[in-house]
Structures are given as C-alpha cells and as structure tokens.
Amino acid sequence: MFFPFLFSSKAKPFSPFLITLLAGGSLILGGCSSGSSKSFAPQCPHVEVLKNAADYYNHQSGSSDLSNLITRANIASLHGDCGYANEEKTAIATRLSLKMTIQQGPAAKSRTINIPYFVAVLHNGSIQNKYEYSQEITFPENISQISASTKLVKISLPISDTLNVEGYQIEVGFQLTEEQLNYNMTHILPPTFKPFQ
C-alpha cells in the first residue's frame, strides 16, 4: 500500500521504504529503487516510535480509574516512503503516517475527539525540529473502538557532504502531558508494533 501523491513534471518518483521491526519499537527504513538501472534510491532515515509515547490515555478529573477513562489510543504501525526532494539531491523528502487504534472510555461525552501526536527530527542525537499535529477522530454510532491513519506528514531533510542522511533519526509518538507520560512510565507494558499488511 502506497500513498497517492501528485508530482510536478520535474519531480522524481518516490521510492517506498521497507519497514523492518526491531525490539522496542525501533524501525529501519530502506529505500527501494524505482526500477531504472540508472537511478538509485537514497537511504531513508531511521524511524523510532518512542515506547513511553506509544500509548495515549485521557482521564477526567485527573484520576486513572477505569471509570474516568475518556479515550485510549495506541500506535499500531507506521507507513510511508522517502526519496530525493530535488534533482540536485540536496535533500531527502520523507513522508509518513501513523496508524492508530482508538477506544472510547466510560467517561466519554462526545463521539468526536482530537488525538495529539508529534514527529521529531534529530541529527547525530541533537533535535533539529519537532512538529506537533492533531488527528480528529469521529466514532460511528454504537462503535467504541476504531482504527484510523493520520494525515500524511511530509518532512524535508537537507543533506550535503557534511550533513549525511545516516545521521538523521525521526522519532514519533503521542504528544503527552507530564501526567500522561508518568502514567505510561508506571502502568504500561512495553508496546508491540506490526507493519501494515
């Protein structure tokens, strides 16, 4: 499954990356060639789902009791691709989407909710950018659990002789409050991920 994308006449096709699952939610993305013997796909950046930000619990009244649960969500898998952003090959364009499983809790009062998440870009361990997003979810009538994919996130990573793609890492997760993060660190078992089938 690949995302549809509109290319200009000067744009080069993107190569889908392969998602290989490692322990702890760490993913290695490998570019695939576009089929031309004269064209080689670039190396894709390493992507990691942060284990303490892979689950989202929203409780009312600050209580973690099940009866006060409004929403629970988890990151099930990732999907996307990468390729050169221009003919000069001075940047890598990466696109990715998160697939979530979302559940309404007993304290939910609305069928429409917003799930906050982030995508952070690091180079050699140093944070370069952090992008925050919100995915709106509407539950159908009489349905309390659904799966949904976020909108496609597009990130351009500059590369040069001194700024190589091997140094890049992309980290993703839910945007949590301090209270939610502490809850995950003390209550949640290590997450398990699986790629799209």
- The CATH number that applies at residue 168 is 2.60.40
Q: How many residues does the chain have?
A: 197
Q: How far apart are CA 146 and CA 156, in angstroms?
A: 31
Helix (H) or strand (E) holding 179: helix 178-187
Query: Under DSSP, is residue 161 helix (H, G, I), strand (E, B) or coil?
Result: coil
* Predicted pLDDT of residue 93: 94
CB neighbours (10 Å) of residue 159?
20
**47 within a domain of the structure (yes/no):** yes
Looking at the DSSP bridge assignments, the partners of residue 113 are 137
Any residues with CB less than 8 A from the CB of 181 and at least 6 apart, and which? Answer: 52, 53
For residue 179, the enclosing domain spans 25-32+40-187
Q: How far apart are CA 118 and CA 164, in angstroms?
A: 23
DSSP 8-state secondary structure symbol assigned to residue 43? P
**pLDDT in tens for each of the 197 residues of the chain?**
233 322 222 233 333 333 322 333 444 344 443 343 334 557 889 999 999 999 999 998 767 888 899 999 999 999 988 999 999 999 999 999 999 999 999 999 999 999 999 999 999 999 999 999 999 999 999 999 999 999 999 999 999 888 888 899 999 999 999 999 999 998 866 555 544 33
* Predicted pLDDT of residue 14: 34
The full DSSP string for 65-124 is -GGGEEEEEEEEEEEEEEEESSTT--EEEEEEEEEEEEEE-TT---SEEEEEEEEEEEET
**193 within a domain of the structure (yes/no):** no
How many folded domains does the chain comprise? Answer: 1
Q: How far apart are CA 29 and CA 153, in angstroms?
A: 16
**13 within a domain of the structure (yes/no):** no
**122 within a domain of the structure (yes/no):** yes
Tokens 């950046």 label which residue? 45
**18 within a domain of the structure (yes/no):** no
| Closest CA relative to residue 40, chosen from 91, 89, 90 | 89
* Predicted pLDDT of residue 41: 59
